[in-house]
Amino acid sequence: MKTGSSKSLVTIKGTKDGLTILLDDQCSFDDLKSELKEKMTRDQHLFGNGPEVVVNVDGGYRYFNKDQEEDIRMIIEDTKTIRVGSFHSEVMSREDVKKELEESSLTTMKQIIRSGQVISVKGDVLLLGDVNPGGVIEATGNIYVLGTLKGIARAGIDGYQKAVVSASVMTPKQISIADVYFYAPERHEREENADEPLFDEPVYAYIHEEQQEVAFEKARYFHRYPSIRRTS
């Protein structure tokens, strides 16, 4: 009769990406925690007292909810010199999958967004139509307007700074990307004809990393923009 398994529930492995802590995905969560705790205390010397070590955690086919993930992190990071880099599990909740799908999806709409209308989209949005002055289009991801943007566009509304706003005719009142704002000059402040669009060719707006302000670039140079897809 054996009490407890001889196979260890927690394995520390060196991989090409650095140290990975593999967690057994069949045992009870409590057993896992207590073994992890034990191991971390025992093997503390392995990680040394030197500079901080970043480890990856691989939970296999076990689902970790937020609290459980936090528990694991706490146990590991209790060892002062270790920080958890990534937390990986092969299993996701339906809710998270749904969210991720939404975030990475492209919604296509065919309408004119008129004054007073606010269209809010999860993920990216492609608008086949105009945004009139007083209308608002917003998305957690990128915004592409195949038409004239005369109103307001808000991209990356959850704080995603790499989002872009692109328009065939770019003449917005306001653009915001995450929490960075661009205000177009008022009609009376414009030197040229205020009825002309702000840009005379298709452009996209993005956050200029150093200046932390909204900048514009010709749409034909879109391929130079590092990433227009959100990766989770």
Partner 1 sequence: MGEAIVITSGKGGVGKTTTSANIGTALALQGKHVCLIDTDIGLRNLDVVMGLENRIIYDLVDAAEGRCRVEQALIRDKRFECLHLLPAAQTEDKSALTSEQMKAIVEELKPEYDYIFIDCPAGIEQGFKNAIAGADQAIVVTTPDTSSVRDADRIVGLLEQEKIGSPKLIVNRVRTKLAQEGDVLDVDDIVQLLAIDLLGIILDDENVLKAAHQGQPIVMDPDSHASIGYRNIARRILGESVPLMALEEKKGFFAKLKSMFGLKSSS
Write out the residues near partner 1 by the rule CB under 8 A: 115-118, 133-134, 136, 173-174, 181, 183-189, 194
| Alpha helix segments (H runs only) across 44-140 | 44-47, 66-77, 94-104
Smaller CB distance to partner 1: residue 52 or 186?
A: 186
Smaller CB distance to partner 1: residue 53 or 215?
A: 215
Strands (E), the chain: 10-15, 18-23, 53-58, 82-88, 106-109, 118-121, 124-127, 136-139, 143-149, 152-155, 165-170, 174-177, 180-183, 203-208, 213-218
CB of 107 vs partner 1, minimal distance in Å: 20
Token readout for 50 is: 């030197």
CB of 195 vs partner 1, minimal distance in Å: 9
Smaller CB distance to partner 1: residue 154 or 230?
A: 154
CB of 187 vs partner 1, minimal distance in Å: 4
Residue 59 near residue 88 (C-beta atoms within 8 A): yes
- Measured between alpha carbons, how far is 104 from 91 in angstroms, rounded to an integer? 18
CB of 174 vs partner 1, minimal distance in Å: 6
Smaller CB distance to partner 1: residue 65 or 193?
A: 193
